[in-house]
Structure 1
Amino acid sequence: MPQLQVRDDDGGRDVAQIPPVDTEQERRYGRVAGTLGLLSVVATFAALPIGASDVGRQAGAANDRTFLLDVGGSGGGQVAALVLRSLGLLLVIAIAVFFYRAIKGRNPAHSGLIAVAGSVSAVIIVACTVYTFFQVRDIGREFVDSGPRTLDRAQDLLEAGRQESTRRVVNVVQGLAGLAFGVWVSLTSLEAMRVGLLTRFLGVFGIGAGLASAVGIPVAPALFIAWIGSLATLAVGYWPGGRPPAWDSGRAVSWDEADAMERSARTARREEREAR
């Protein structure tokens, strides 16, 4: 488990010498960023029923043919779902910027490249997703509007689309952007955990979610949504049992110090009850 390591860029100051963060200003920014982060989660979930409602139930087993029949026959619902998914990912940039500022204020050595990687990769993923969606939708409409609606033709059309030069470049770029995005999730979790902004559990969970996103594990989107929702809740100012003490202190708080503070608080509450 990584320990708290906070140094200035020149290595000349330790944790105690770093000026504390303006927590009031951070709370104001946090409420805005956290609200946008929660809206990201809402938009992502809202896209699911909207997209599903616009897809017809084709007869037969699910295959390339039924897929193209669904896509080619879809209307504005699929576009609306795409907009919501894209919006949900772009809103994550607010969380990336806010947590960069929060970590940087407690650890001046924190690199801005981490937040840049997360923000830029989110934009690239959205752009690639939009391109792929409309390319596949055009293939689906070609399949529905003309020619035989056979499985072989559906497979040929989809394979031709995958081999199209622009699509191949887009796939490579999207894969690299997904890798960068996963690295951002993991590094943000690690650095936020080191300065005490995240609990051990949430920090380790975020590292795992980032790794899952980087390698494209199917469960990665669900893990990411849970992670971003948790960070947004912390940014707004709430957490079950209270936020870690680094938020209120405006400085980095090691895990040992946080544990000691919690023990002292429990002792004070117990003594107060006994004195009544």
Structure 2
Amino acid sequence: MNLRATHDDRFQQLRSERRLGRLVGPLTLLGLALTLAAVLVSAAAARNTGDTETLRQFAANRDDQLVAASLRVAGLLLSLPLVLFLQRILVVRDPTVPRGLAIIGLAASLLIAASTMLGWFALRDAADAFVGREYRTEREALDASGLLTAVRWIDIVSRLLFASWLAYASLRASRVGLITSFLGLWGLIAAFSGTFLAIGDALYIGWAGSVALLALGYWPGGRPPSWTSGRPEPWNVPPSPAVARPDDA
């Protein structure tokens, strides 16, 4: 009876994960698409002015930059379900995963979203002051903004928190076999480079997109066995005897 109950519990667990994955995967991919759109909108707006001064560029394109900031925030909010989903499937396979891991990921994402919007308001005010000749140089206008200083600190803290979440989540997901060793290493590189380098954002997009595809059930050559067994099974270890799959129900 206990074995039967355990089998049924795992079967229901896998069915639940499959249903959630079908929701989380598309939301994550949509969020990543919005993030890429934000980058393109912001870059296009900067090119269109032809001005070499950052604040004058911003003043001439504030509406476009607001659209870009809004797209980025929307993309970040759509990534929150992935944080919760990954926490849920990790804890099932490894109960030693800290429950606070998801809190760190959520807090980091929300702080990044906050710094993005606050940054737009701070740059708007600084640009208005500079264009209105309240300051002689851009540096004076930027240094005089207390809000911009706060945004910089929020950005630093949020990036450190996000890097911590991404690195730890990648490591634990790789250990239990939810992602390949290569994808786990990719996540670690994205975490550390994202703290200091702009390329870290691009690496994260690749990592999150891959996890979203795994959540949807797609992966070249099939998903790692832990997705269908509900147990920790490192990718390079032969899979355990098959259990009933939610796809077969």
* TM-score category of the 2 structures, normalised to the smaller one: 0.7 to 0.9
Tell me the CA shift for residue 168 of structure 1.
3.0
**Are positions 1:27 and 2:15 aligned together?**
no
**Are positions 1:116 and 2:121 aligned together?**
no
Equivalents in 2 of 1:49, 1:169: separation in Å? 26
Give runs of aligned pairs for residues 205-224 of structure 1, distance below 5 A: 205-213=186-194, 215-224=195-204
Give runs of aligned pairs for residues 126-145 of structure 1, distance below 5 A: 126-144=113-131
CA spacing shift, 1:112–1:32, aligned 2, 3 Å: same
Equivalents in 2 of 1:72, 1:27: separation in Å? 47
Q: Which residue in 1 is equivalent to 2:165? A: 184
Give runs of aligned pairs for residues 1-276 of structure 1, distance below 5 A: 20=10, 22-55=13-46, 56-59=48-51, 62=52, 66-144=53-131, 146-147=132-133, 152-161=136-145, 164=146, 166-213=147-194, 215-258=195-238
Structure number, greater radius of gyration? 1
Tell me the CA shift for residue 135 of structure 1.
0.8
Equivalents in 1 of 2:236, 2:208: separation in Å? 26
Equivalents in 1 of 2:55, 2:103: separation in Å? 37
SS state at 1:109 partner: coil
Unaligned runs of 5+ in 2: 1-5, 242-249
Equivalents in 2 of 1:255, 1:230: separation in Å? 15
Equivalents in 1 of 2:104, 2:96: separation in Å? 17
Deviations 1:94-151 (A, max 9, x none): 111001111111112211211110011110111122112211122112333x228x9x
Q: Which residue identity is paired with 1:187?
A: Y
Deviations 1:13-71 (A, max 9, x none): xxx99x63621111110111111110111001111232234343235xx3xxx211110
Q: Which residue in 2 is equivalent to 1:9? A: none
Q: Which residue identity is paired with 1:219?
A: I
Unaligned runs of 5+ in 1: 1-15, 262-276
Q: Which residue identity is paired with 1:20?
A: R
Aligned residues: 233
Does the 8 A contact of 2:32 with 2:209 survive in 1? yes
SS state at 2:122 partner: helix
SS state at 1:157 partner: helix
SS state at 1:158 partner: helix
Percent sequence identity is 33
Equivalents in 2 of 1:126, 1:42: separation in Å? 16
Tell me the CA shift for residue 80 of structure 1.
1.0
Q: Which residue identity is paired with 1:23?
A: L
CA spacing shift, 1:83–1:212, aligned 2, 3 Å: same
Q: TM-score, normalised by structure 1?
A: 0.77
Tell me the CA shift for residue 75 of structure 1.
4.1
Tell me the CA shift for residue 258 of structure 1.
3.2
Does the 8 A contact of 2:142 with 2:148 survive in 1? no
CA spacing shift, 1:260–1:30, aligned 2, 3 Å: closer
Q: TM-score, normalised by structure 2?
A: 0.85
